[in-house]
C-alpha cells in the first residue's frame, strides 16, 4: 500500500543558498502522512477527541540531493510494517522520478496522559 503526495517548493522553503532547508523535508513527509491517513478515513480530530494522537517516535533520514525554488516534488509513502504498537513507513521525496530524500518513520499512538498505547484495530486494518 502506498500513497503519493505532490509538493511544490516555495521561496519560503529555501535557505540563503536557494535550496530547500534540510528541516523542511520533515515537514513535507509529515504533510504526506497526514494527507494519507485522512484519505484512508482516519479522522485525526475525532481520534484526538477520543483521547489518542499520532506521534513520531523515530525518523531515519538520508539527504541524497537538493531541491530548489519552484521544483515539483512527490512524496511517496509506503507501509513497511504494522504491529499492534507501531506503524513503520518508508517515505521517499522524488523530483522527476529521482529520489532526493528518503526516510524511515516510526509512528505510535499516545493517550491524553502522554502514555504509549496500542494502535486501534481499525487503524491497523486501514494500513494493511
What are the beta bridge partners of residue 7?
73
Name the active-site residue from 15, 43, 71, 90: 15
Query: Which grid cell sits at 21?
Result: 532547508
CA 60 to chain CA centroid, Å, is 12
CA distance linking residue 82 with residue 117, whole number of Å:
14
State yes or no: is 43 an active-site residue. no
Give catalytic residue positions.
15
Amino acid at each position: 500500500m502506498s500513497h503519493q503526495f505532490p509538493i511544490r517548493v516555495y521561496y519560503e522553503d529555501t535557505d540563503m543558498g536557494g535550496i530547500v532547508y534540510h528541516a523542511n523535508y520533515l515537514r513535507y513527509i509529515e504533510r504526506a502522512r497526514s494527507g494519507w491517513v485522512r484519505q484512508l478515513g482516519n479522522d485525526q480530530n475525532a481520534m484526538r477527541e477520543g483521547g489518542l494522537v499520532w506521534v513520531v517516535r523515530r525518523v531515519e533520514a538520508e539527504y541524497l540531493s537538493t531541491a530548489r525554488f519552484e521544483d515539483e516534488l512527490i512524496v511517496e509513502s509506503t507501509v513497511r510494517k504494522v504491529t499492534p504498537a507501531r506503524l513503520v513507513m518508508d517515505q521517499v521525496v522524488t523530483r522527476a522520478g529521482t529520489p532526493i530524500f528518503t526516510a524511515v518513520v516510526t509512528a505510535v499512538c499516545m493517550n491524553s496522559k502522554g502514555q504509549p498505547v496500542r494502535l486501534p484495530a481499525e487503524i491497523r486494518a486501514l494500513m494493511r
